[in-house]
Amino acid sequence: MPAPVLTLGVLALQGAFEAHAAMLRELGAEVVLVRRPAQLAELDGLVIPGGESTTFLKHLERDGFFDILQSFAQTTPTFGTCAGAILLAKDVLNPAQRSLGVMDIAIERNFYGRQNDSAILTEATSLPGGPLEMVYIRAPRIAHTGTEVTTLARRGDDPALVQQGHLLAATFHPELGHDTRGHQHFLDMVRTANTRA
């Protein structure tokens, strides 16, 4: 019996939501671009893309979106990349700013410098299939991970892809690469959560 089609949301307030949507569709998911809090209700999981986290926060101020998104991420699989990871983190540094605070990580914005320091690196990962290509754009650094957090890939010594139960965060941009393993791993997480429910 074929697996049921998953409905994945991509938060589409601003940023690289189209690239995420394209990759999720390629992997067989049904994709909803989420611009309103009410759209979260029918989703099996959500991707919060890269973009500007300050802009996301501004848009989330309206219509109680912030609180609804926070409750959603506490229970439903959510994958944050770059700015999205910043939103999921418990602590945000450089500068300190508000976040959903659902994931036990501390994250430093723009740690690796400005655009000239953006880089494409290939490093080891515990995901099956060998080293992972990681596209870093004005990337943040995960400075601390709590005991419940598993590191799946690193940039040097720093965690770059981390999981805590139903939550996944990447400081790089899997949607800009050709390697679908990050998204595939997230879809597997969503499927697992669905089976349990």
Partner 1 sequence: MASTNGISSNGSSNNGGSSNGSSNNGGSSNGIGSSLRLKLGLAEMLKGGVIMDVMDVDQAMIAEKAGAIAVMALERVPAMIRAQGGVARMSHPGMIKAIQKAVSIPVMAKARIGHFAEAQVLEYLAVDFIDESEVLTPADELHHIDKHAFKTPFVCGAKDLGEALRRIAEGAAMIRTKGEPGTGDVVHAVRHMRQSVSEMKALTVLSDQELYAAAKNLRAPFELVAGVARTGKLPVPNFSAGGIATPADAALMMQLGAETVFVGSGIFMKEGNIRLDVRLHDAESAALFGAKIGEPVCPEERAEAESRAKAIVDAAKDFTDPAVIARASEDCLGAMKGLAVGGIAEADMMQNRGW
Whole-number Å distance between alpha carbons of 102 and 104: 7
110 binds partner 1 (CB under 8 A): yes
* Greatest pairwise CA separation for the chain in angstroms: 50
Site track for partner 1 across 128-157, x = CB under 8 A: -----x-x-xx-------------------
**Interface residue with partner 1, options 7, 39, 70, 118 (CB under 8 A):** 118
Instruction: Determine if 120 is a binding residue for partner 1 (CB under 8 A).
Output: yes
Please choose, out of 2-10, 53-61, 71-79, 158-166, the segment that lies near partner 1 by the rule CB under 8 A: 53-61
**Which listed range, 1-9, 38-46, 65-73, 110-118, lies at the site for partner 1 (CB under 8 A)?**
110-118
Is 39 near partner 1 (CB under 8 A)? no
Long-range contact set of residues 124-132: C-beta below 8 Å, sequence gap at least 24: 124/153, 124/154, 125/152, 125/153, 125/161, 125/181, 126/151, 126/152, 126/153, 127/152, 127/153, 127/161, 127/181, 127/182, 127/185, 128/181, 129/181, 132/161, 132/179, 132/181, 132/182
Residue 170 engages partner 1 in binding (rule: CB under 8 A):
no
Residues of the shown chain interacting with partner 1 in the complex, contacts defined by CB under 8 A: 12-19, 35, 50-52, 54-55, 58-59, 82-83, 94-95, 109-110, 113-120, 133, 135, 137-138, 173, 176, 178
